[in-house]
């Protein structure tokens, strides 16, 4: 059991799988709702399901409502959900909701404040309107600026922006433009994701038809380097592969995943990790309502590997002493780090094993050693 300052710490993730439209790159569990009743029914089930995790409530330190598009919910459903969470009296350190800019409005911001949401993660993806269309996003740069104004006017200043780089239409100049636009907004956190080509997405179809193609590795690496250098220069702490924060604004909830700590996952397609079992609910609504999920017991050996696979996403690496505390053995005995050290992909500094600059650029080469 992982503890923080002596307390057991868990996260609570609630998944809202509804979207108004489907983005070209996305393979997250999501769907276009058939009608309002379908969404009402889903929220009914979520509200009911939350109580099944009562015994874990005292340990919950972070809440994350993600999607899909949580702020695609009507005010009625959003308030029902937030009110239910509020009734649990959890006092989380961090309470995030994911939002798409085009739906964000004053009423939503007021509901967030009323029910204790203290962090908003906005799916911006690009500040270039033609690229937003290409990604099949239905907002514009102007919508993003308006959404941020609404949040700040309501004292919701702990904001994250998601951007995606290296999509098939991307260029180094466009990444620079997006960074410039981001920096104008005075936002404390950014998740800048390298686009992953997922199967069965609009992009994977277009690629197999030869209509678009992926960028080459060197261009992607140059973009990533530009992002890291620009954000660092402006005072952002590069604390995880894709995440940058002004000091003090690092996400606590995501830290739970990277530290291989436990979390409750609720909702169709949501995953959780409790009592050594990782579970993933069926993403089909009716199957979720019947509590159908895949269960995987994580063995001690798998946990050791995950400690590195997840932990190496953190730029300050993993703690040797914490590993010893959890597993009663030394990572230096359990794994052979020699080839990673020789290839200059990792280094050891005091208690921590960290990726080198080269390792950060070539994380897949590091991860292969643990798979
Ligand atoms: C699943 S979305 C949910 C949030 C919200 N629906 C939205 O789109 O703004 C969370 C984030 O994951 C990132 N993402 C989704 N698919 C991705 C992919 N194939 N490659 C890289 N990032 C991706 C996007 O940046 C997106 O904002
Ligand atoms: S990226 Fe967000 S809005 Fe787009 S389909 Fe995926 S979950 Fe829905």
Residue 275 resides in a domain = no
Full DSSP string of 268-322: TT-EEEETTEEEEE-SSHHHHHTT-EEEEE--HHHHHHHHHHHHTTBTT-EEHHH
Residue that is last in its domain, among 242, 258, 274: 258
108 & 253 share domain: yes
In this structure, is residue 287 part of a structural domain?
Answer: no
Give the model's pLDDT for residue 199.
Answer: 95
In a domain, 288, yes or no: no
Instruction: Kindly indicate the confidence band of residue 2, based on its pLDDT and cuts at 50, 70 and 90.
Output: very low
* Nearest Cα to Cα of residue 73 among 49, 100, 47, 45: 100
According to the model, what pLDDT value does residue 369 have?
85
Domain co-membership, 215 together with 352: no
Indicate whether residue 162 lines ligand 1 (CB < 6 A): yes
Residues 349 and 227 in one domain: no
CA of 21, closest atom in ligand 2:
5
Residues 19 and 274: their CA atoms lie apart, in Å, by 28
Closest ligand 2 atom to 67 CA: 7
- pLDDT at position 189: 98
- Would you say the CB of residue 20 lies under 6 angstroms from ligand 1? no
Pair (245, 339) in one structural domain: no
135/47 same-domain check: yes
> Which residue CA neighbors atom 6 of ligand 2 most closely?
26
The Å distance, Cα 169 to ligand 2 centre, comes to 19
Q: Please tell me the residue having the least CA distance from ligand 1 atom 27.
A: 123
Residue with tokens 């678009």: 212
Pair 42, 162 in one domain = yes
Distance between Cα 22 and ligand 2 center (Å) = 6
Q: What is the pLDDT of residue 264?
A: 98
pLDDT of residue 269: 98
Q: What is the CA radius of gyration of the chain?
A: 21
What is the extent of the structural domain holding 44? 3-258
Q: In what order do the strands lie in the sheet with 346-349?
A: 318-319, 352-355, 346-349
- Which DSSP string do the residues of 160-216 spell out, in sequence order? EEEEEE--TT--HHHHHHHHHHHHHT--SEEEEEEPP--TTSHHHHHHHTTSS-PPP
CATH number reported for the structural domain that contains residue 119 in this entry: 3.20.20.70
The overall average pLDDT reported for the chain is: 96
Full DSSP string of 32-51: --S-HHHHHHHHHHHHHHHG
Question: 180 with 325, same domain?
Answer: no
- Is the same domain home to 202 and 338? no
Residue 280 placed within a domain: no
304 belongs to a structural domain: no
Same domain, 244 and 323: no
> Do both 26 and 100 map to the same domain?
yes
209 and 340 co-located in one domain: no
Torsion of CA 209, 211, 217, 221, to 10 degrees: -140
Atom of ligand 1 nearest to the CA of 69: 6
Residue that is last in its domain, among 212, 237, 258: 258
Same domain, residue pair 10 and 80: yes
Q: Where is 94: in which H helix or E strand?
A: strand 94-99
The β-bridge relationship of strands 243-245 and 189-194 is antiparallel
Looking at the structure of the chain, the number of domains it has is 2
Is the pLDDT assigned to residue 268 strictly greater than 60?
yes
Condensed to tens digits (0 to 9), the pLDDT of residues 69-95 reads 999 999 999 999 999 999 999 999 999
């Amino acid at each position: 059991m992982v503890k923080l300052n002596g307390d057991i710490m868990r996260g609570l993730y609630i998944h809202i799988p509804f979207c108004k439209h489907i983005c070209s790159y996305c393979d997250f569990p999501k769907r276009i709702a058939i009608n309002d009743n379908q969404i009402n029914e889903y929220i009914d089930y979520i509200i009911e399901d939350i109580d099944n995790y009562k015994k874990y409530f005292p340990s919950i330190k972070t809440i994350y409502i993600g999607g899909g598009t949580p702020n695609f919910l009507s005010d009625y459903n959003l308030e029902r959900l937030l009110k239910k969470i509020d009734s649990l009296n959890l006092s989380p350190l961090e309470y995030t909701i994911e939002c798409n800019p085009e739906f964000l409005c004053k009423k939503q911001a007021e509901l967030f404040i009323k029910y204790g949401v203290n962090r908003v993660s906005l799916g911006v993806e690009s500040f270039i309107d033609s690229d937003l269309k290409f990604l099949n996003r239905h907002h514009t740069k102007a919508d993003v600026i308006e959404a941020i104004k609404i949040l700040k006017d309501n004292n919701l200043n702990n904001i994250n922006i998601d951007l995606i780089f290296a999509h098939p239409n991307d260029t180094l100049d466009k990444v620079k433009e997006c960074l410039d636009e981001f920096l104008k907004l005075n936002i404390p956190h950014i998740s800048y994701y390298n686009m992953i080509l997922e199967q069965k997405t609009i992009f994977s179809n277009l690629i197999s038809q030869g209509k678009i193609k992926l960028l080459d590795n060197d261009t992607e690496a140059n973009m990533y380097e530009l992002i890291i250098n620009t954000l660092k220069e402006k005072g952002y702490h590069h604390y995880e592969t894709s995440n940058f924060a002004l000091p003090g604004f690092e996400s606590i909830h995501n830290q739970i995943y990277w530290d291989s700590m436990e979390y409750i996952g609720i909702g169709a397609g949501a995953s959780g990790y409790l009592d050594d079992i990782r579970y993933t609910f069926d993403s089909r609504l009716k199957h979720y309502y019947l509590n159908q999920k895949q269960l995987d017991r994580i063995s001690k050996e798998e946990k050791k590997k995950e400690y590195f696979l997840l932990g190496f996403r953190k730029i300050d690496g993993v703690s040797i002493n914490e590993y010893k505390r959890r597993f009663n053995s030394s990572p230096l005995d359990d794994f052979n780090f020699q080839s990673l050290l020789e290839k200059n992909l990792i280094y050891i500094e005091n208690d921590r094993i960290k990726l080198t600059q080269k390792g950060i650029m070539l994380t897949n080469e590091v991860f292969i050693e643990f798979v």
